[in-house]
Structure 1
Amino acid sequence: MGLIMNGGDAKSSCMEAIYAAKEGNFEEADQKLKDADEALNRAHNSQTSMLTKEASGDKVDITLLMVHAQDHIMNAITFRDLAGEVVDIHRKISSK
């Protein structure tokens, strides 16, 4: 569940960063992107723990919940990359 929660938190922070940048509040946007990075780091740490467990010989069951969790992380990572670009675009537009 930590994967799903942290992935969701990261995506929410990315959306908040975009909204803040759209309003010209780049300090808040940068903080929200940092919050997203921290949530993704927590998700990555959980994921790495499971991968390490499996690599050491402990079988990890692949369930629908696990697939769903991985989907959340992948989408959050993609969303974070795009949010950073959108914030940068708003920053450039506002500086002109």
Structure 2
Amino acid sequence: MENKYEVSFELILNAGNSKSKSLMAIECAREFDFQEAEKLVNEAAVDLKAAHKSQTDMIQGEARGESQEINVILIHAQDHLTTAMIMLEQAKEFINVYKIIKEIKERM
């Protein structure tokens, strides 16, 4: 079993990367650079999947009887994962909204 902190920091790293890429995707969409925005959303999804795998591994270990020590770092890691999940969905929505805005501007 990995060091209890390694899994938490792995979660923080991957979830943080995902969140950052989602935010960058929103910035690209704001500039109507939808190709780059979509690329970043796809990369964010890959990072989020890696973070989610870390969480799933912990859950499966717990189901096998491997107790997980709950500590502040793990709680912080879970917060990062939740935030990254929400941010990815928001980035997708912002991209759609900026596409609509661009269409409206082009019609004017």
TM-score, structure 1 as length reference: 0.97
How far apart, CA to CA, are the structure 2 residues paired with 1:31 and 1:24? Answer: 13
Q: Structure 2 counterpart of 1:36, which letter?
A: A
Match of 2:83 in 1: 75
Superposition deviation, residue 57 in structure 1: 0.4
**Partners in 2 of 1:8 and 1:68 — Cα distance?**
11
TM-score normalised per structure 2: 0.87
> Within 5 Å, which residues of 2 pair with 1:27-66?
27-66=35-74
Query: What is the CA deviation profile of residues 32-87 of structure 1, one whole-angstrom value per residue up to 9, with x for unaligned ones?
Result: 00011000000011111111000000111000000000000001101111111011
- Identity of matched residues, %: 35
Q: Measure, in 2, the Cα distance between the counterparts of 1:94 and 1:8.
A: 29
Which one of the candidate residues 28, 32, 42 is aligned to 1:20?
A: 28
In 1, the alpha carbon distance for the partners of 2:11 and 2:103 equals 37
Query: Would you say 1:87 and 2:95 are equivalent positions?
Result: yes
CA shift, 1:95, in A, is 1.8
Distance, in Å, in 1 between the alignment partners of 2:32 and 2:90 is 18
Q: CA deviation at 1:92?
A: 1.2
Q: Which consecutive segments of 4 or more residues in structure 1 shift more than 2 A?
A: none
Q: Deviations over 1:4-41 (max 9, x none)?
A: 00111011001110111111110000000001100000
